[in-house]
Amino acid sequence: MKTWIPHSRTFAYLNWKQVEALPKDSTLLILPTAAIEQHGHHLPLATDTLINHLLLGKALEKLPADLPVFALPPICYGKSNEHIGFPGTLSVSAATFMAVVRDIGASLSASGFKKLCLYNTHGGNTSLVDVMARDLRAEFGLRTFALYGSGGVNFEGLSEQEKAYGFHAGEVETAFLLSAVPELVDTGAYTINYIAHVDKPELLRPENASATFAWLTRDIAASGVMGDPHPATAQNGARWIDQAAARVAEALQAMAQYENLYRP
């Protein structure tokens, strides 16, 4: 699969003697978590994983060369059962996902590493990442960080409606891929679907509300798209990628330099 992660920052390209020589207390290892799942008629199944590699790779390029930060091989398969029923979606259970993250954490701890960032770009994994960050800290003493998507960057030019409900195969994801891998975007197959509207104050919503209902994608979005990809451009994609990468890099540098002030 295509990646933008520099070879010099790829943990799996090191040999064991090089790993042994890394400063264990200060080295930050990043575990990318994503998904292989439907993204409408116009984006590939690998969208979340591609975006993870893209933003993380561009962020790593922005870090100081002497900062010991490395990307682990990604967990491409996520908890994607919300998209089950759409051809091509490959999902693992919550228990399986958490067990894999736990076992990787155990391996890193056994090698003496102290810092791990879980970098997630699939919404279905979010609650599991939150749980595992705490569990890894409790079980292994790993200083575990969680980082999500674009790091909270504000996408200039994006409508409030799209910011709130364009979170799956909508304008941002489409723009990212139009900029980075345009050959994988079928611009003639766009569909639009909003699962709620910011100007209609429904009490119950599937997302972004104090009261929600559990949903499967086929319940609320027949094409699998949640948002409107039509306004997406490669130019906006390139600008947003750079902004998001800068934000992710800033967060990674803070994690790498973090010192626990209250030691047990």
Where are the chain's structural domains?
Answer: 7-256
Answer yes or no: are the C-beta atoms of 80 and 37 closer than 8 Å: yes
Instruction: Split the chain (264 residues) into runs of 10 and give each run's mean pLDDT.
Output: 97 98 97 98 98 98 97 98 97 98 98 98 98 98 97 95 96 98 98 93 84 94 97 98 98 91 51
User: Of 33, 70, 48, 232, nearest to 147 (Cα)?
Assistant: 33
Report the pLDDT value the prediction gives residue 205, as an integer from 0 to 100.
Answer: 86
CATH architecture observed for domain 7-256:
3-Layer(aba) Sandwich (3.40)
Measured between alpha carbons, how far is 233 from 254 in angstroms, rounded to an integer? 32
d(CA 159, CA 49): 25
Q: How far is CA 69 from CA 6, 42, 130, in A?
A: 11, 34, 21
Which pLDDT score is estimated for 243? 97
CA distance 134 to 152: 21
Please tell me the distance from the alpha carbon of residue 222 to that of residue 128, in angstroms, as a whole number: 26
| Cα–Cα distance measured from residue 177 to residue 103, given in angstroms and rounded to the nearest whole number | 32
Mean pLDDT value across the chain: 96
| pTM, rounded to two decimals | 0.96
